[in-house]
Amino acid sequence: MYNEAKSIRGISLWQDAWRRLRRDWVSMTALSFLVLLGLAAIFTPLIPLQSPQLQDLGSRTGKPPEFSSMTKVTNEKGETVEIPVSLGLVGKTGDDYTRRKSELWSDLTTFDVMLLNVRLAIFGDYCLPSLCGTDMLARDLLSRLFYGARVSLIVGIVATLVSLIIGVSYGAIAGYAGGMVDDFMMRIVDIMYSVPFIFVVLFLITVLSEEGVKQQLEAYGISRIVILYIVIGAVYWLTMARVVRGQIISLKNEQFVDAARTIGASGLRIVFLHLVPNVMSIVIVYLTLTIPAVMLFEAFLSFLGLGVEPPAVSWGVLAEEGLRVITPVKIYWWLVVFPALALASTLYSLNFLGDGLRDALDPRMKNR
């Protein structure tokens, strides 16, 4: 009997959740898309894209999508000829190479430079055509979409993690403490809920973007985009705190908590080592639903000119630039469609994945 019982392997909630998630083709498609998008954003300098900031106002302003890598230029004889779109880095050395690289990209990290060197070794000066067209400053939109994905995804993930840390800690402590401490902490949350957070964020970003304050923050290495992470994350933790508090209240009288108290575990140890891990399934689901909300809010702020600062670019910045040039005379549809399509695809994928995780992590559906 013992040997028979020993041969039976149990299955954990996480293993069962993964098994059921794999059977949901919508969620797996969304997960695959997000993984590919994340990899493309990380390794963007490795892809043979054109420069996201180089301007060629002479012949490529507001061009629709095209599949040719050729561009028209005027030679020394005054003749118009077609030449391949090129980075112009191969063959340059020293100061010429550094100057040209600074014209093509700004704020490259050490990792980006390493990827760029690999790209030059593989593809040379070759660049993909402007498959998504060019903007009104003749910059390649496809390249700007890829580099914008980096900023939009980082803002969404980092700001969500900030809200996760604050919300989970605050809600768990309030739920476990109970009594007057819980009442006081949750009244603070209620007061903050009554304040329109959009105006709070706009106010904070406007104040922190004031020239004097901005210079002081930059002296400590804090840029506007870092402020954006912190401010958005510091606002989105309220619902997370309420969700976690409710779960902790339902768990704090369970036997495993009594056992932890019996062996002398402190309150903080019980909260963060015993209770919080048991609510992580709810937290993960809520996390996938918070990231798209944060990304959409960043796009909204960038649309108002209070988000990402040039030369950095995000999908919100691209959408704002596209809407700015729509006129009754001519509609540059590609400047709006492609940024909106990128943003919408990512938001839909995150929501579909969140729905799938919600079903997969539901203990009532275990082993079904």
Helix (H) or strand (E) holding 30: helix 25-42
Q: Is 143 exposed, middle or buried (0-12, 13-18, 19+ CB in 10 A)?
A: buried
As given in the structure block, the two tokens for residue 7 are 């041969």
Q: Given phi > 0 = left and psi -120 to 50 = alpha, else beta, which region is 13?
A: alpha
- Write the CA distances from 267 to 1, 144, 249, 270, integer angstroms: 41, 49, 14, 5
| Architecture in CATH for domain 13-47+138-365 | Orthogonal Bundle (1.10)
Ordered by start, the domain boundaries in the chain are 13-47+138-365
Give me the tens of pLDDT residue by residue for the chain, a chain 368 residues long. 556 555 556 566 677 778 888 888 898 999 999 999 999 999 999 998 888 888 776 677 778 888 877 666 555 555 555 666 777 777 777 788 888 888 888 778 889 889 988 998 888 888 888 888 888 888 889 999 999 898 888 888 888 888 888 889 999 999 998 889 989 999 998 888 888 877 777 777 777 777 777 777 777 777 777 777 777 777 788 888 888 998 899 888 888 888 888 888 888 888 888 888 888 878 888 888 788 888 878 777 777 777 777 777 888 888 878 877 777 667 788 888 898 899 889 988 988 888 888 777 766 555 55
pLDDT recorded at residue 145: 92
pLDDT recorded at residue 173: 92
Q: What is the largest CA-CA distance in the chain?
A: 94
Q: How many CB atoms lie within 10 A of CB 89?
A: 16
pTM reported for the whole predicted model: 0.81
Look-up of token digits 């040209």: 100
Helix (H) or strand (E) holding 11: none
How far is 97 from 110, CA to CA, in rounded Å?
16
pLDDT recorded at residue 83: 66
**Rounded to 5°, angle at Cα 189 from 187 and 193:** 115
pLDDT recorded at residue 73: 58
As given in the structure block, the two tokens for residue 82 are 């077609």
How far is 357 from 257, CA to CA, in rounded Å?
27
pLDDT recorded at residue 32: 93
Cβ partners under 8 Å of residue 362, min gap 6: none
How far is 82 from 87, CA to CA, in rounded Å?
15
